[in-house]
A and B are shown apart, each in its own frame.
Chain A
């Protein structure tokens, strides 16, 4: 084992900042990262064991114990459950005879839960040995378990045809479907790779930034910072080296648009990174991609290779002397918080994905403490179109405050879940019509994932845009059938508990307390004071360092704002105080241990 690990650390020049890659390769090679491997890595990188361990134990997809020859991850997101995940889970558990976080005694398979894997348009879905299986049914699960027991190779376990587009390509071979339902300026099919690069090499970087500023494009990850301004800050920041990081860590439950862009328009994205690099004076780009999309990595590497071979990446790009830029792919390992730009940088440096304090901002001190631009996948794609067609053209789409288009990920209770590119300014009503949702049957729409807003029908005339419903683009449609508090609010709150990096006291502790309050109400022990407490306690989270922490109470606060009656229906009207204490339950354990009947 030692030599195997040594080989890996040497592959990365024993560079501490490449610890993520070292760990991923180690796990790929050994199936997990046993202590012996950790010690070897620590020795090679001149780190302590706990130094290495703090990174390993941070990420959901790293395992320190054997996880079975087939490592099965099942998505526990809201939409997965709506689409029938519970039956799928039950079948896996029954067929394999194990529960979550267990491995079969013969070491065949391990079963694990995971947060949204970006397949909401084709749930229930699973990741097994880094391959994606979608639209699972109990029947299909039985077949798969049978295949596992026969020792079939993971790639031979697909029965249905591969998905559409590049999903069929030799380097992906996946059953994932794109589900592109509406195209616009970003997703359009006539894109010719390289044109924008050919155009910019004759432009002054300052002019490029001006054009981007003119387009008024804002970050598509959700926060909406003006892209041109970000580039300008980075360009003007002093630093020996500058970096362009592309944030492809879309982890907000319900979002999957980047998956589709990465599958079909990787060249467009990389071209956007090159343009950003040229504009700010960066020479290196990193595509930080969530581990869930590992199945795309080989394909993406090949696209990069083609770009290098045709000199759209590399040295003196397209003959422009001194214009060097290359891109490497950095895989995450399962942590929603890494979608926060400074956490993403930490992770790309091989560390725990803990957000940094700001200031300094990444544009001043980012990756390896150098000026860094972190842009969303969609932003970088749109930038190419701005360069090709001009800022004014781009502004002709959308609204005054929100220019251009937004690629939406729509899922839940509708006929046509998938990816839709629409102009900003679309109302929720328009969207429901577009996706084939039975409007009279829609109870609520979750806009912008768990950190966004849960809105009720009387707000369906609101529009998507930075001036109203700002969103990273995920919409989850919830029909009247859904139990909002249990199916949605509780699920999202548990998501925030699990995904907290644990650094800020507020975000580490409050969501758990809120979940317990919610459980009290769901268990019919709630009183009005509990609602008031949740409103007060939720405010504490605003003092958290990053967006995850600051919004971790949003599922509760937003549903309390728009669906307060659901809570009020469940609380005890005739009581002012209820501690929630249950004497019967409290005595159960001791009664059992001593063989006594509890008489109260």
Chain B
């Protein structure tokens, strides 16, 4: 029987959740025995090459590219997991929610105290750049998400225990101290 396939991505996140994933330490050797990785920054596979069983999503959606990637994950993965506070509720990037985007852009590129080199007063508009969404969206407010692992980042134990449960189909028993929002 072929091994379950896992994909991961970081949308509007800081890669902290991925770092926490790596914090499973030597259990990663065990994990490699259990699963095969497809699209993921961990192995640098940039495009899906097959259908996956589990997709781990770090970060919320703050621009058009995030939305496309997330939808791509939904299409390719049987199970999607929101990994961390940003994926679950927008997180730090969502602090801009509620503030009109033109104000955010003006602060960042025109009027902010650190703006020094924008004499032509241009807001970034290169067609290659993703377009910002009006607010940062939690992933499950864009596509269907099956499981949620809170934390900033979710602890390595939480990620490990969840993955093992998803792979083996065993019931997930989480000790009190494993689930934290910070």
Contacts and interface: CB of A to CB of B under 8 A. Distances in A.
Interface stretch (A234-242, A275-283, A589-597): A589-597
B14 interface: no
Contacts of A586: 67, 133-135, 137
A242 B168 CA distance: 71
A275 B137 CA distance: 62
A598 B102 CA distance: 16
Interface in B146-181: none
Interface stretch (A113-121, A492-500, A575-583): A575-583
B133 A579 contact: no
B141 interface: yes
B64 A583 contact: yes
Nearest to A577: B144
B137 A590 contact: no
Contact residues of B: prevailing secondary structure: mixed
Contacts of B134: 585-590
A159 interface: no
A594 B144 contact: no
Contact of A590 (B132, B140, B144): B132
A484 to B, nearest CB: 28
B143 interface: yes
B131 interface: yes
A600 interface: yes
Nearest to A581: B142
B104 to A, nearest CB: 9
Contacts of B144: 577, 579
Contact of A600 (B64, B105, B127): B64
Given A587-B133, A594-B105, A598-B131, A579 B123 contact: no
A577 B80 CA distance: 14
Contact of A593 (B67, B101, B142): B101
A79 to B, nearest CB: 35
A590 B140 CA distance: 22
A581 B101 contact: no
Given A590-B101, A593-B101, A581 B137 contact: yes
A594 B110 CA distance: 12
Interface in B39-97: 64, 67
Contact of A587 (B102, B131, B141): B131
B67 A583 contact: yes
Contact residues of A: prevailing secondary structure: helix
A36 to B, nearest CB: 32
B122 to A, nearest CB: 9
A594 B123 contact: yes
A591 B140 CA distance: 24
Contacts of A583: 64, 67, 133
Contacts of A591: 131
Contacts of A581: 67, 137, 141-143
B64 A596 contact: no
A593 B106 CA distance: 9
Contacts of B140: 579
Contact of A596 (B101, B125, B142): B125
Contacts of A598: 64, 131
Given A583-B64, A596-B131, A600-B64, A590 B105 contact: yes
B143 A590 contact: no
A595 B125 contact: yes
Nearest to A580: B141
B133 A593 contact: no
A593 B100 CA distance: 10
B124 interface: yes
A585 B64 CA distance: 11
Interface hub of B131, B140, B141 (most chain A Cβ within 10 A): B131
16 contacts: A579-B141, A581-B141, A581-B143, A583-B64, A586-B135, A587-B132, A587-B133, A588-B134, A589-B100, A590-B132, A592-B102, A594-B131, A596-B125, A596-B131, A598-B64, A598-B131
Given A589-B134, A592-B102, A594-B105, 16 more contacts: A577-B144, A579-B141, A579-B142, A579-B144, A581-B141, A581-B143, A583-B64, A586-B135, A589-B100, A590-B101, A594-B124, A595-B125, A596-B127, A596-B131, A598-B64, A600-B64
